[in-house]
Each structure stands twice: as structure tokens, then as C-alpha cells.
Amino acid sequence: MRNLVFSVLVTALTPFFFCGCAGIDAGPYRARVVYVYDGDTVKLDNEERVRYLGIDTPEMNYKNPPAEYLAEQAKEFNSRLVKGKNVRLEFDTVRRDKYNRLLAYVYVDKTFVNAELIKAGYAKVYIIPPNTKYADDFLSLQRRSKNERKGIWAY
């Protein structure tokens, strides 16, 4: 009986010892977006904040207005893509930033949200090694967005 209890405890607690957050390493991470902070940061129904990997959108500047150029539009575009929807998170090498936000590539069904923000011209490529999985793809999308003068590239 003791062996069974020990075995169950080890199995249940192993994720905490290896990543500090149960379930994140255990396969696809899925949750529902309940709040959109801006073009590249959201809050999930489990209270986790997620910062999109590989991109940077104009800042809302909540503490020191006004918002940067196209920040409201980037937030609205992101909201239309993810708010109230179930998302799947894909991780790279580093999974949390210094603010304890999850760092992820975000998908709604087959839509790659990070890429859509770049394509629409609401995000610049922002790669911080070692999280470089989609760097080349993102740079290619950004070149196209710039050439088509979309969003932030419309000047």
C-alpha cells in the first residue's frame, strides 16, 4: 500500500519538480483567452499571462499615456483573433520571462496568431535567443508586410 501511495505521489508531483508548473511540459497547453492587454499579451482563464514569442507590437502605455501609434488597432486585431477563444500554446526554449509570463507561439485552431499579427503589419519581429524557432519565417513575413506597406509600415 505504501508503495502505491508513494508511486501516485511521485507521478502527480513530478511536473512541479522539473518545470515548476504542472502540465506545461505534459503536451499541448490549451486554455481560453479571457483578456487582451495589447497586441502581444493576453490573460488566460487559468490566470496565466502569455507574452507572444518572436514579435513586438506597439505599446498601450497604460501607466503613461498616450498609446504608441497603432497600439489600439493591434490590440483590437489581437482581440478579434483570440478573445473568448480556446488557444493552443507552443513553447520554445525559455518558457517564462522576468515578469513570470508564459512565452509562447499562440494558435487558434490552425491560425498562427503571432504570424497573423506580422502579416497584418501590427507587429515587428522581436527575436530573443534562444527562442528562435520561427525567426526566419517571421522575418520573411515582415519583409512582405513592409513591401506591402501594411500597418506600422504604411508611412
Angle 67-145-58 (CA atoms, 0-180°, nearest 5)?
A: 15
Write down the catalytic residue from 48, 95, 101, 116: 101
Choice among 59, 72, 76, 90 that is catalytic = 59
CB-CB contact of 81 with 111 (8 Å): yes
**Residue 80 among the catalytic residues:** no
Q: Which of the following is catalytic: 48, 51, 95, 116?
A: 51
Q: Is 101 designated active site? A: yes
The full DSSP string for 29-48 is EEEEEEEE-SSSEEEETTS-
Residue 51 a catalytic site member: yes
Please report which helix (H) or strand (E) contains residue 132, including its range: none
* Catalytic residue IDs: 51, 59, 101
